[in-house]
Structure 1
Amino acid sequence: MFNGFTDETVDFMWGIRFNNEKPWFEAHKQTYLTHFYQPMRELEEELYGWFAEQRPKLPLRGRVSRIYRDARRLHGRGPYKDCLWLSVEAPAESVWVSQPTFWFELGPEEWSYGLGYYSATPATMMKLRARMERDPRVMEKLTRGLDRQTEFSLEGEPYKRPKEGAPSPLLARWYEKKSFSIGHYEKLDEILFSRALVDRLKTGFAFLLPYYDYFVTLDGDPDPRDGR
């Protein structure tokens, strides 16, 4: 059961940021396992169980990220990350790309959670635009719901030239995105150190479930490029 992160969690994140080398990590590995990885795993297990209850027919899986960076992509950085995240998503060959993903991330300065793609494919975004053009009403309703609340905001890298053809001004913002997420970002605060975080995340994810239901089926839509 998740009972919150600890001061040692925060100390470790700052420690690995400024001491990103194997000897320091090995000397503090037990702190990492006890105060960072283990509570993150407990939080993931609780959230995965909740998602499985909400959508019992969906093939979801939960996972916690590794602290080790890919050795092929260090680019002058140390071998360890100073953050961890958990995710719940449908199994896919390219996780975070072809399927929308729920996430929670904790770093030394900020925590965040939400729903989105790490890098949606051009085909996924084309299918999203085509679906909105066929029937804009569903996405207009979801967009109005997003505008009425303050927990989440639409984020994502924009196209250099926004796509044209939005069926209404309300949907134009989606045509600007190469990829997107609907997320909440906040400085570290007391909620991280208690079970109140579980309820906060469940409440937010409950709001995002209808958005997930809409996005997760995009891969099954016809490719707009076919037949042209």
Structure 2
Amino acid sequence: MNRPEFQGFTEEALQFLEQVRENDSKTWYEENKPRYEKLLLDPFKQLVSGLAPDLLLIDPLFEVTPSVNKTISRLYRDTRFSKDKSLYRSTMWFTFKRPKADWLEAPSFFFEISPLSFRYGMGYYSANRESMDIFRAKVLANLDVFYKTIQPMSDGDRYEIEGDKYKRSLHPDLPSELKEWIDRKNLYLVHNSTDIQRLFSSVIADELLTGFKQLEPIYHYLCKVEEQKMASSVVNRS
């Protein structure tokens, strides 16, 4: 049976995200679960299924199963280690990433919606200190290659560089635009928008694919960082 094609989200879907957070009740959620499945889960499954073939061309190791806890987030929050004990979140997202068992710190592509905004891009948000140290060394060893790699995402103003930064620059003599990359503890390349009307048609799927392809060179650059780290780990164990 063919899955229906993604046609966009609705205003009601965004309202549901606000309502589930406001009510913050398992009873309310269970009573409204059919709405969640129709308004949010089904469109997310359709969107993931539609994008999957092209994302597998970027990385054939991506997990692309269109289901919760594979590519699609839960609404229910794990509050065990959080000061915020709210049961439900007002955001929902998908990620395309390599399986965690083998690629714990690998970068991933993501798309997230909330009642008043959406965001998408590529995150190296699981990067540990070793990954970022290798990244910094790789960048500084060949700046020409790095600048060529980030050129596609630098065309236009689609993306911002985000991620935790060190309070003091690790390389204070570098140009400010390069320190934006070098001084990060982790790294996100994000397009943020409050133009939620763009969510209400299938055109958002084309926008996501275009945006993800723009980030493909830096994605592969970061994957090589992880591969270098894994190779170094093997050598150290032997």
With normalisation by structure 1, the TM-score equals 0.88
When the two structures are aligned, how many residues end up with a matched partner? 223
The C-alpha deviation readout for 1:54-86, integer Å capped at 9, x for no partner, is 236x31113101111114135343211211110
How far apart are the structure 1 equivalents of 2:156 and 2:133?
27
- Residue 41 (structure 1) aligned with residue 48 (structure 2): no
How far apart are the structure 2 equivalents of 1:105 and 1:92?
20
SS of the residue aligned with 1:72?
Answer: coil
- Residue 90 (structure 1) aligned with residue 98 (structure 2): yes
Match of 2:160 among 153, 173, 183: 153
Alignment-derived partner of residue 31 in structure 2: 27
In structure 1, stretches of 5+ residues that fail to align are none
Change (3 A) 1:84 1:98: same
Aligned partners of 1:146 and 1:153 also within 8 Å:
no
With normalisation by structure 2, the TM-score equals 0.85
How far apart are the structure 2 equivalents of 1:221 and 1:94?
14
Aligned partners of 2:79 and 2:85 also within 8 Å:
no
SS of the residue aligned with 1:70?
Answer: coil
In structure 2, stretches of 5+ residues that fail to align are 65-70
1:7 is displaced (CA, Å) by: 2.2
- Residue 7 (structure 1) aligned with residue 11 (structure 2): yes
How far apart are the structure 2 equivalents of 1:155 and 1:74?
22
Aligned partners of 1:140 and 1:171 also within 8 Å:
no
How far apart are the structure 2 equivalents of 1:217 and 1:165?
26
How far apart are the structure 1 equivalents of 2:93 and 2:51?
13
SS of the residue aligned with 2:135?
Answer: helix
Change (3 A) 1:73 1:214: same
1:149 is displaced (CA, Å) by: 1.5
1:157 is displaced (CA, Å) by: 1.1
Aligned partners of 2:165 and 2:185 also within 8 Å:
yes
Alignment-derived partner of residue 50 in structure 1: 54
How far apart are the structure 2 equivalents of 1:192 and 1:113?
12
1:133 is displaced (CA, Å) by: 2.2
RMSD: 2.4
How far apart are the structure 2 equivalents of 1:171 and 1:55?
26
